[in-house]
Amino acid sequence: MIKPGDFVEARRRLAAKPKGHRDKLMDAAEAVRLVCDGDVIAVGGCCFSRPPMLLIREILRQGRRDLTIVRNLMAQEMELFLVAGAVRTLVASWMGPGLPWGLSRPLRHYVESGEVRFEEWSHLAIGLRFRAAAMGMPFLPTESMLGSDLMGVGSARTMTCPYTGETLCLVPALFPDVAILHVHRADRYGNCQIDGYPHMDADIASAATTVLVTAEEIVDEDLIKRQPDRTVIPDLVVDAVVHAPFGAFPGECYGLYETDFSHLDAYAAAQDEKGLDAVREYLDRYVYGPPTHQAYLDLFGPEALARQQRAARELVGGDPL
């Protein structure tokens, strides 16, 4: 784990990593072997949008422990991390199962008991911590968080601006050991293109030491070269590329499939009935049970997947619905 803001150590670590143009296509199990117990993992996407679910399931299947997970807005995926016993610290601005379903039971259970620490920052502060790291700098200043009790939770500081004399909030660069991201398309070298919401993924990729990417589609390098303006993560920073159609499901992938809200409704209803045991059963059925990604998708069935694809096409067509 790199100390917050330690840009010198972060750069030293990069010096040791192979960065050349090479084939990085592999399966999820092989990619996740690059994750170690105790790592700080930054999770891409935001809330239900592009959560890298295949990589998350694989990290839990391989039984990684004592992780620090960083994500701007955490949702169902973090309940799985918590109940699987994989997490020591959460770094986030928000965590909930989604507006219609109230407070997160696993969050309440693990944080109120003191088993897991929730290091809360503002949403922008999380973004600036990744951006500072992506810039290779120790911190960024902001007008957010000043005067609030969030100043006392993490390692934010204040300084007097040398130009204006104003008090500024400083947030330290966050250099994750590993970034896990799901994108629309990548070539086998790791050049990544994202449609729709970019979220913080490009900053996260530059900030991390090791970068694991799943992609809906693996494309020929020639396609990337014909539209290089669409590439948002360069192959230089990527260490593993995994082919994962529906890799964010039951979350959404912009333009391709919508979040399966009926699945989340059922998941929330099961928790209302059985509490955390419902999450344990969910882990058995959806995470530990299916031996392959295809076996996981088969649990939902082709009709459910097709329905979510239709919903996505309706929403991003640009025509009034």
Partner 1 sequence: MTTYTASELLCVMAARRLADGMTVFAGVGLPLLSVVLAKRTHAPRLTMVVEGGVIGCEVVPGRLPISTNEMRLAHRATMLPGITDLFLLAQRGYIDVAFMGGAQIDQHGNVNTSVIGHYDHPRVRLPGSGGANDIASLCSELVIVTMHEKRRFVPRVDFVTSPGFLDGGDARRRAGLCFGTVSQVITNLGLFGFDDASRAMRLDALHPGVTIDDVRAQTGFEVLIADPVAVTAPPTDTELAILRSLDADRRFLG
Point out which residues bind partner 1 (CB under 8 A).
46-49, 72-73, 75, 92-96, 98-100, 103-104, 107-108, 111-112, 114, 118, 120-125, 127-128, 130-131, 142-150, 152-153, 158, 166-169, 196-200, 202-203, 252, 254-255, 258-259, 261, 311-312, 315-316, 318, 320-321
CB of 246 to partner 1, least distance (A): 15
The least CB distance from residue 170 to partner 1, in Å, is 11
User: Which helix or strand (DSSP H or E) is residue 199 part of?
Assistant: none
Q: Across the chain, where does the E strand assignment appear?
A: 40-43, 67-70, 73-74, 87-92, 94-95, 117-120, 139-142, 157-160, 167-172, 178-186, 192-193, 210-218, 231-233, 240-243
**Closer of 118 and 300 to partner 1 (Cβ):** 118
DSSP 3-state of 84: coil
| Contacts for 215 with CB less than 8 Å, ≥ 6 apart | 182, 183, 184, 185, 186, 192, 241, 242, 243, 244, 247
Instruction: Provide, rounded to whole angstroms, the least separation between the CB of residue 65 and partner 1.
Output: 22
Q: Given the complex with partner 1, which of 30 and 265 has the nearer CB atom?
A: 265
DSSP state of 255: T
Nearest to 80 by CA among 303, 306, 284, 298: 284
Q: How far is the CB of 6 from partner 1 (least distance, A)?
A: 21
CB of 233 to partner 1, least distance (A): 13
Q: How far is the CB of 271 from partner 1 (least distance, A)?
A: 16
The string of DSSP letters for 270-311 reads HHHHHTHHHHHHHIIIIIIS-SSHHHHHHHH-HHHHHHHHHH
Cα(193)–Cα(255) distance, integer angstroms: 13
Nearest distance, CB of residue 117 and partner 1, angstroms: 8
CB of residue 16 to partner 1, shortest distance in Å: 28
Kindly tell me which of 98 and 290 has the beta carbon lying closer to partner 1: 98
Alpha-carbon distance values, 55 to 32, 51, 246 (Å): 7, 9, 12
Which C-beta is closer to partner 1: that of 34 or that of 168? 168
Between residues 158 and 294, which has the closer beta carbon with respect to partner 1?
A: 158
Structure tokens at 20: 């050349």
**In this complex, which beta carbon is closest to partner 1, that of residue 299 or of residue 315?**
315
The residue among 64 and 131 lying less far from partner 1, judged by its C-beta, is 131
By beta-carbon proximity to partner 1, the closer residue of 152 and 302 is 152
Q: Which strands form 167-172's sheet, in the order they lie side by side? A: 139-142, 167-172, 157-160
Q: Residue 262 CB: number of other CB atoms within 10 A? A: 12
